[in-house]
Structure formats: structure tokens, C-alpha cells
Amino acid sequence: MNAHSSIITDADERAFLDAIDKWIEKKVRPVAMELEHGDIWPADLVDDMAELGLFGAIIDPEYGGLGLSATTYSRIVMRIAEEWMSLTGIFNSHLMMATVVQRFGTRKQKDYWLPRFVTGEMRGGLGLTEPDAGTDLQAIRTVAARDGSDYVVTGTKTWISNAIMGHCCALLVKTDPEAQPRHKGMSMLIVSKIDPETKAPLPGVSNGKKLEKLGYKGIDSGEFIFDGYRCDAELSLVGGEEGKGFAMATGGLEIGRVNIAARSVGIAKRALRESVAYAQTRKTMGKPIAEHQAIQLKLGDMAARTRAAELLVEDAARAFDAGGRVDMEAGMAKYFASETAVDVATEAMRIHGGYGYSKEYVIERLYRDAPLMCIGEGTNEMQRIIIAKQLVARNKI
């Protein structure tokens, strides 16, 4: 899937972004601090996001989705992340799963799953990471064995967003554990812990524990444990063909990296905004600290890097909308924007001094949330390798 099938006009986009802004101000801002500090699942806000259409944001209109471009989508993510980054993870992880189905699924799979994804009645994420396999996806051990018209799945996935409060996931499995090279034995299944029609719990799958985190509170990160779990091959094996899962996983990560980059920009923008305001009210030596050169140097650097990150996100989103391979553009945006979020949040804490370390101010939350951006959807070390490889591949001599 590419989101260039968008049917909304510039005026539609402005109206939608305005609706998002009003929702953030009216519903998110009053509760974000309390829910984040309590690590509380934001049930009412999730219902709001479903009503706004965010769970179908980049799903094609023929399935009931909004069909937004990646450019518009990234702007929505930036806005929400400025107020509370965790919310963006709830619908982004879900949309990565939906992207896999929309881009690679059979007609029957699209007709079955996508309308349920759009409404949010079936929410989920991407089931890639395992206790012993993160960036090296080919090292996964979860196995799906064919048994008649079913697959029988055994294995454990971890660090899955929406694992506990969600219902399903796009699951990367080994259908041929002996295949060489390893990626040729990997397939993608859509699996659910409830029956999509009756909503009754299904046997053979459990959630394990909710994982405690430094930041990124409110959203549930958890485990999926499969023990003889059965699923219908026709509905579950994405694309109807084994051995294509690795490419599907990396394809789903492209929009995820644009999202992570956009989230990073939201964090950096909020940290900068808070710092500019605070520097004008806090006084030392008889004048606002904004008039001290040491603070001005920090603000100047923070502003320039935040804007540069925003432009890289726009660049990656436009490339995604144009179709084709965007791992270099998405990697550049994700790498630079996430490092910027960490640096800007850290400088914001220094500008705020002791207040930046206080839970009464938003700075400490930004400081805790930012580092995840450097890790999620592929480490920044891996991004730089991807960028370099694509740079060489696109500039052969």
C-alpha cells in the first residue's frame, strides 16, 4: 500500500487537522499528565480516536478508511505527539499491521480484515520482536506448521504494542525453519486472540506480562505466547504464499519509521516551545534567562535542528506517497529526528533546571519518551547502515 490514493483536498486536510487540534485541546490536554504518570490505558481517548477515524487513517476508502496521504498522516502524528506521544503509538502500531494486509494481502484477506481494522473493533500491532531476536529479524524462532487448512503456531513474541488491550497482530513466523537463506523460510500471519465475529477468546494464545517501561506510558507493551494456536491459513497467511514474510515486515516498517520520525518532531517541538516560554519568565541576575547568551545558543541550536527534522519527515512522507522504495528517506528522517528529540529534550531539561526534573512539568516526560524513538522500528545504528547501502546502490559508478 502507498497512501498516494488519498482523495482529500487541501481544505479537507486543514479541516481534519483543525478537528485534531480541538480534540487535543479539549480531551487530551486535561488528562495526559495523570494518565501518563499512572500508566493508565486511555480508554476514552482510544474511543475518540476510533470516532475520528485514526485507526483507518491510511487505509483505502474502499474499505472505509480515510485514505490519508503519509504527508497528512505525519502532520497528525506530530500534533498529537506534542501533547502525548503514547497516543500516536496506539494507532501507528495498528496501521503498520493494516499496511501489511493492504499492501500484500489477498482480496479475501483485505475484504475480511481491513473494514474491521478501520473501525478499531479489531485493533492490533506488528508481532516481530522475540526475547532473542530484535533488529536481527531472521533470528526469530516462532514456528507456524501447516496442518490441513490451518497453521499451528508455537513461540513467544515480546515488546508488542497493543498486545494486551488490542486483539490481533501481524505475526512474523518461520514456516520453514531449515530454509537458507533464513529469510526465505519466513511468512506473515494475521492472528487474533479473539474470534473476529463473535469476539469470544480463542485457545492457544495468551498475553504474558505487561512490560514496565521508563517512558511511553499508557500504551500497553506486552508479550504474545502461542502454544498450539490454530488459525485458518486462507485468512491468515498474508498474500497466500509462504516465504514472503521478511519483505512484508520491512515494508510495514517504512510507514512506522515515518511515524517514529514524526513523533520525534512532536517531542522536540514541545520541548522547544516549553523552553522558549520558560526562558522568558525565569529570571537570573535581574533579567530573563532568554537574554543570556548561554541560553540563546541552546535555543538557536534546538530550533534549527527541530525544523531540519520536520523537513526530513516531510521529505520521507512525500517519497512514501510517490510510491516505490523509501527505506533511505524514512531511515534518514527516523535517525535524525529521533536523535534530535533526545538532544532537544535534554537541553530543555537543562534550561528548566530543577523544574525540568519535576513531575509537575512536562519536560521530564519528554526526556523519558525521547530515547525510545532511537530504538523503536529499527535502531539508529541500523538506520545509518540502511542509508549508506541505499546511497551506494542509488549512485553506482
Q: Which three cell numbers stand for residue 96?
A: 503498520
Between CA 226 and CA 204 the distance in angstroms is 6
Question: Does residue 181 have a cis peptide bond before it, meaning omega lies within 30 degrees of 0?
Answer: yes
CA 241 to chain CA centroid, Å, is 26
Contact between residue 210 and residue 219 where contact means Cβ atoms under 8 Å apart: no
Count CA atoms closer than 13 A to 289's CA, side-chain side.
19
Contact between residue 79 and residue 147 where contact means Cβ atoms under 8 Å apart: no
Residues 6 or more apart whose Cβ sits within 8 Å of residue 324? none
Query: Phi-psi region for residue 254, left (φ > 0), alpha (ψ -120 to 50) or beta?
Result: alpha
234 is catalytic: no
Query: Phi-psi region for residue 202, left (φ > 0), alpha (ψ -120 to 50) or beta?
Result: beta
Q: Which three cell numbers stand for residue 191?
A: 492472528
Query: Phi-psi region for residue 310, left (φ > 0), alpha (ψ -120 to 50) or beta?
Result: alpha
CB burial class (10 A; 0-12, 13-18, 19+) of residue 27? middle
Q: Which three cell numbers stand for residue 371?
A: 530515547
Which residues on adjacent β-strands are paired with residue 231? Answer: 151
Length of the chain, in residues: 397
Question: Which residue type is seen at 260?
Answer: I
Q: Which of 324, 233, 249 is nearest to 99 (CA)?
A: 249
How many degrees, rounded to 5, is the angle at CA 235 between CA 118 and CA 248?
Answer: 75
Q: Which of 36, 62, 377, 381 is catalytic?
A: 377
Q: What Cα–Cα distance (Å) separates residue 62 from each residue in 92, 114, 115, 394?
A: 20, 10, 9, 35
Q: What is the CA radius of gyration of the chain?
A: 21
Positions marked catalytic: 377
